[in-house]
């Protein structure tokens, strides 16, 4: 099934540690509750969300209720969970999920970027991607990494390869564009000295720049 990677929020792009979507553990039902607390926390630009995606890997702050501490809660930082967003058979949007299309873009229109809003959507504990941090049945948090920052770095480390790849492919596209422009500028002729053949536009300083 097609899925999507739902990290970016309307108000939080580069600053992933500032994400506001929450995944709150409910010890009564053994579920996580995924919620969008405000408009700025709507997941934005999410590829595959607008039309095709059945599931989303949602990055959200993991909130754990503190037992015996007067009803408080602890913010364990950003974690990823799998959230179903459309019915597998009918493809209709599931209850509690709101999806909008980001609309026409100046490029990459083959990708259906969309916006996702979660209204207290419940997911089972198994949907937490728990490689770097887990929650026990009684709501206790465990991790092989000692701090929020270390867990965050490990979680986002997977993106580094993609970022390098994106910069690399941009350079590739730019090289092709420059090659096409230089070849065209060599063949295309406009103006020239009086009573003589027109000259290649590549001879003009403004075109070279």
Ligand X SMILES: Cc1cc2nc3c(=O)[nH]c(=O)nc-3n(C[C@H](O)[C@H](O)[C@H](O)COP(=O)(O)OP(=O)(O)OC[C@H]3O[C@@H](n4cnc5c(N)ncnc54)[C@H](O)[C@@H]3O)c2cc1C
Cα distances from 164 to residues 79, 167, 183, 192, in angstroms, run: 23, 5, 29, 45
Of the candidates 123, 121, 141, the one whose C-alpha atom is nearest the C-alpha of residue 132 is 141
When the beta carbons of 110 and 193 are compared against ligand X, the nearer one is: 110
- Nearest distance, CB of residue 42 and ligand X, angstroms: 12
- Site residues (CB under 6 A) for ligand X? 5-8, 13-14, 45-47, 108, 113
When the beta carbons of 61 and 135 are compared against ligand X, the nearer one is: 61
Residues 23 and 120 sit within 8 Å (Cβ to Cβ):
no
- Nearest distance, CB of residue 46 and ligand X, angstroms: 5
Structure tokens at 93: 């949007």
- Nearest distance, CB of residue 2 and ligand X, angstroms: 12
- Nearest distance, CB of residue 207 and ligand X, angstroms: 29
Q: Which residue is nearest to ligand X (CB)?
A: 13
Give the alpha-carbon dihedral of 201, 207, 177, 164, to 10 degrees. 160
């Amino acid at each position: 099934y097609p899925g999507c990677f739902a990290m970016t929020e309307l108000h939080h792009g580069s600053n992933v540690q500032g994400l506001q979507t929450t995944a709150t553990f409910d010890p009564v039902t053994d579920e996580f509750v995924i919620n969008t607390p405000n408009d700025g926390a709507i997941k934005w630009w999410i590829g595959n969300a607008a039309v095709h995606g059945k599931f989303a890997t949602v990055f959200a702050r993991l909130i754990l209720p503190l037992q015996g501490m007067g009803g408080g809660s602890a913010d364990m930082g950003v974690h990823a969970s799998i959230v179903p967003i459309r019915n597998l058979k009918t493809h209709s949007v599931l209850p509690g999920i709101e999806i909008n299309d980001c609309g026409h873009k100046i490029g990459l229109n083959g990708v259906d970027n969309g916006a996702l809003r979660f209204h207290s959507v419940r997911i089972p504990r198994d949907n937490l991607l728990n490689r770097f941090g887990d929650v026990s049945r009684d709501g206790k948090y465990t991790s092989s990494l000692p701090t929020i920052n270390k867990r965050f770095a490990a979680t986002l480390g997977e993106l580094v390869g993609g970022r390098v790849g994106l910069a690399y492919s941009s350079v590739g596209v730019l090289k092709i564009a420059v090659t096409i422009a230089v070849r065209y500028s060599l063949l295309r002729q406009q103006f020239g000295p009086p009573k003589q053949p027109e000259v290649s536009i590549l001879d003009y300083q403004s075109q070279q720049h």
